[in-house]
Amino acid sequence: MSVKRVGILTAGGLAPCLSSAIGALIESYTEKAPEVEILCYRSGYKGLLLGDSFLVTPSVREHAKVLHQHGGSPIGNSRVKLTNVADCVERGLVQEGQDPLHVAAEQLKTDRVDVLHTIGGDDTNTTAADLAAFLAQNDYDLTVVGLPKTIDNDVIPIKQSLGAWTAAEQGARFFENVVAEHNANPRMLIVHEVMGRNCGWLTAATANKYRERLDELNFLPETGLSRERKEVHGVYIPEMHFELQQEADRLRAILDEIDCVNIFISEGAGVDTIVQEMESRGEEVPKDAFGHYKLDAVNPGKWFGQQFAKMIGAEKVLVQKSGYYSRAARANEQDIELIARCANKAVECGLSGDSGVVGQDEERGDELRAIEFERIKGGKPFDIGSTWFGKLLGEIKQPKGDVVETEHV
């Protein structure tokens, strides 16, 4: 197939790679196939369904490197599942009786798109898989190539998703300021809630990166400025079971000794327990278009803070969430290098008609390739047996809990 025009869309939540990934795709096409036109859809699959797009101009190609200097997605995101017909109809994206997959396919045909690049997480790329399957079954000659964006780093079988390293670094920077709030009140409990619905990688990596930043600081214990008061005292993630009372006893001893406690909690930790408690009170817990509980309604950080505060005798609880601060950041150098490699491979795959999600395939020796859509799943659990995570728990003297069995979603 001769590629004359490609489309790009970003979808789902933000991550510190979207703007840079758009820039890297434009740069790579300009280098490898400058004759290929590039069309960007505004607001993800919403823009595709509504035919809302724009062509990349020569000026944009010339200045594409500017996109690496910014976070967010300049072309906009949305959460749209093409197989959730009722949601698409309710939101006015398709008419009653229309199939969103068919509408999307016809729009791509109208726009003369030969290759569609989707930049998103597991929901975005499983939606891309649905679209790719529909296109193949209905004889649409179009290649779909995804890039794996998620700060949770939880896409199976991809070794490292784009933006996750930056999110961990930014979460550490965020907490570097928040932690000083322990000076404001005696017996302070500070809860840092980190994004991660099913996977604790980001919480663990953020705690680890924060502690690396502590290693670079000097302290003056005689004045009360000690490493111990700025330390991470507990890390709680969905993959690791812990005894609440045992942890409360350990944290109370720390609070009694240094007058503050700092804990990192994944937003997905304990969600099932919290939802059950809310539903037992007759509360309806809202879900998004993909059927996930809306975590801002569940509010795990607040729940954990309330539970621990009573058990350890904290006088004040401060819950701070770094998610929006982290996920909208510009990509760091480590991520930009990974983004460039993945974008170059995505362009190669697009030009050769090879559909899939580009990433390091953990099941194929970490080869960078277009991974088959049917093998892409969300909910990859963090390996709590990782050497670096075991070292982290050992240094903060937190017992390593049992593995919680999780299902792939």
* Cα–Cα distance for residue pair 12/335, rounded to 1 Å: 19
The torsion defined by the Cα of 70, 293, 194 and 249, in degrees rounded to 10, comes to: 180
Which of these, 203, 199, 138, 185, lies nearest to 409 by C-alpha position? 199
* Cα–Cα distance for residue pair 179/263, rounded to 1 Å: 10
- Contact assessment for residue 335 and residue 162, using Cβ atoms and an 8 Å cutoff: yes
* Cα–Cα distance for residue pair 379/121, rounded to 1 Å: 11
* Cα–Cα distance for residue pair 351/133, rounded to 1 Å: 19
Question: Two tokens at 31?
Answer: 């280098």
Provide the annotated binding site for Mg(2+). Answer: 122
Q: Does residue 236 sit in helix, strand or coil?
A: strand
Q: Which of 87, 123, 130, 152 is catalytic?
A: 152
Which of these, 153, 103, 136, lies nearest to 372 by C-alpha position? 136
* Cα–Cα distance for residue pair 65/331, rounded to 1 Å: 12
Continuous segment of H or E residues that includes residue 403: strand 402-403
Q: Is 366 a catalytic residue?
A: no
CB atoms within 10 A of CB 252: 16
* Cα–Cα distance for residue pair 347/354, rounded to 1 Å: 10
**Positive or negative torsion for Cα 13, 17, 19, 25:** negative
Provide the annotated binding site. Answer: 13, 122, 150-152, 195-197, 267, 324-327
Provide the annotated binding site for diphosphate. Answer: 13
Relative orientation angle of helices 387-395 and 201-215, to the nearest 10 degrees: 60
- Cα separations (Å) of 130 from 6, 133, 342, 343? 19, 5, 22, 22
Q: Which residues are marked as active site? A: 152
